[in-house]
Amino acid sequence: MENNIQEEKIPSAISPLSGNQGASGTIHVFAPATVANVVCGFDVLGFAVNEPGDEVIMRVTNKPGITISKITGDDGRLPLDPAKNTVSVSVQHYLQSVGRTDIGLDIELHKKMPIGSGLGSSSASTVAGLFAIKTLLGDDADPVNLLPFAMKGEEMACGHGHADNVAPALFGGFVLVRSYEPLDIIRLPHPKDLYCAIIFPDVDVPTREARQIIRKNIQMKDAVTQWGNIAGLVSGLFMNDIDLIGRSMKDILVEPVRSMLIPDFYKMREMAMELGAVSFGISGSGPSVFAFARDEGTAHRITQKLQQHLTAINIGSNTYVSTINDKGPKVIG
């Protein structure tokens, strides 16, 4: 296939997926950060936010194969080797699947959020890359078809092919991963006026280790409490009932363990709730934490207060406030 490269250029970025046509041009894509688990929904729930997010600039080249020419915002932590970077690996899997390994691509990855933050950093990059190549090739198939490739990236990034970050990054909004075998993704509604305040305390909590500390055996009665809460949260999302969402967002199984890796987790919760948060919890496997709030002002007061507190105990932090992202990835240039 690789010697079958087509030199012709097509004016539009939209070209047929199959056949002997090539793809041309450059595309600049944003994909959102995501909050997985969502307190009571360990391993099955996630949602996307409008800020932060990662950006990929993808350019068609005339030499088959993928190169990564630039990565910014990663402090030199991510590999430029396309065989080792989750973005290029995912895109390569996709190209193999659609029979287009004849294409040459160069990728720039601009990380706009910290790595290892619990905000689905690798998912955002991977989804941005996949959305870029899908758009360049004019592939109008359902985005759900990109999921397996994005999950390949997750497997590489954190040792486990989870979908609770990549699915919301790809679709936007709230997503339920009901089942993995077969993969069953349900898109859930959410209140439009729900604000998400995110605080990333700059401490190191690797996803792999954060998984390992979770208990393997639990009590049935605790599981019942947890699934009552996840059923309540899902109901609250459908009913547009922010009170119900708030009182359902309790995690008695994972948070008690993972919170130990996060500085002053319970103190931060107390501060957030006193300021009027609807709920507060760990984003993904941490160390980022998030709060839901009913308005932008409250969300900002929460991030400010928590950042001040972290500064006082000598921990740097990044903060973000946004509504829930409803669109997933988007072309920005």
Strands 45-61 and 104-110: antiparallel
User: Residue 46 or 104: which CB sits closer to its own copies?
Assistant: 46
Q: Is 148 annotated as a binding residue?
A: no
CA gap 189, 208 in Å, rounded: 30
Site for its own copies in 250-279 (CB under 8 A): 253
One residue of 247, 294, 305, 330 binding its own copies per CB under 8 A? 247
**What is the smallest separation between the CB atom of 29 and its own copies, expressed in angstroms?**
29
Told to check if 158 binds its own copies by CB under 8 A, we report no
Helix (H) or strand (E) holding 189: none
User: Residue 18 or 219: which CB sits closer to its own copies?
Assistant: 219
CA gap 263, 260 in Å, rounded: 7
Site for its own copies in 32-61 (CB under 8 A): 41-45
CA gap 8, 243 in Å, rounded: 58
Told to check if 215 binds its own copies by CB under 8 A, we report yes
User: Residue 14 or 186: which CB sits closer to its own copies?
Assistant: 186
**What is the smallest separation between the CB atom of 230 and its own copies, expressed in angstroms?**
5
Q: How would you classify residue 19: left for phi > 0, otherwise alpha for psi between -120 and 50, otherwise beta? A: left
CA gap 268, 277 in Å, rounded: 11
Q: Is 235 annotated as a binding residue?
A: no
- Count of chain residues binding its own copies (CB under 8 A): 38
* DSSP string of 254-293, one letter each residue: SHHHHGGGSTTHHHHHHHHHHTT-SEEEE-TTSS-EEEEE
**What is the smallest separation between the CB atom of 211 and its own copies, expressed in angstroms?**
11
Q: Which stretch binds its own copies (CB under 8 A): 21-29, 47-55, 115-123, 213-221?
A: 213-221
User: Residue 229 or 298: which CB sits closer to its own copies?
Assistant: 229
Are the beta carbons of 9 and 104 closer than 8 angstroms? no
One residue of 104, 129, 143, 232 binding its own copies per CB under 8 A? 232
Catalytic (active-site) positions = 154, 207
Told to check if 313 binds its own copies by CB under 8 A, we report no
Q: Is 114 annotated as a binding residue?
A: yes
One residue of 90, 229, 283, 325 binding its own copies per CB under 8 A? 229
Structure token pair of residue 287: 């160390």
Q: What per-residue string of b and e applies to 149-181 under the rule 16 or more CB within 10 Å gives b?
A: bbbbbbebbbeebbbbbbbbbbbbbbbbbeeee
Are the beta carbons of 219 and 183 closer than 8 angstroms? no
Which residues of the shown chain bind its own copies in the complex (CB under 8 A)? Answer: 41-45, 176-179, 184, 186, 188, 214-221, 223-232, 234-235, 238-239, 244, 247-248, 253
Which residues carry a binding-site annotation for ATP?
Answer: 114-124
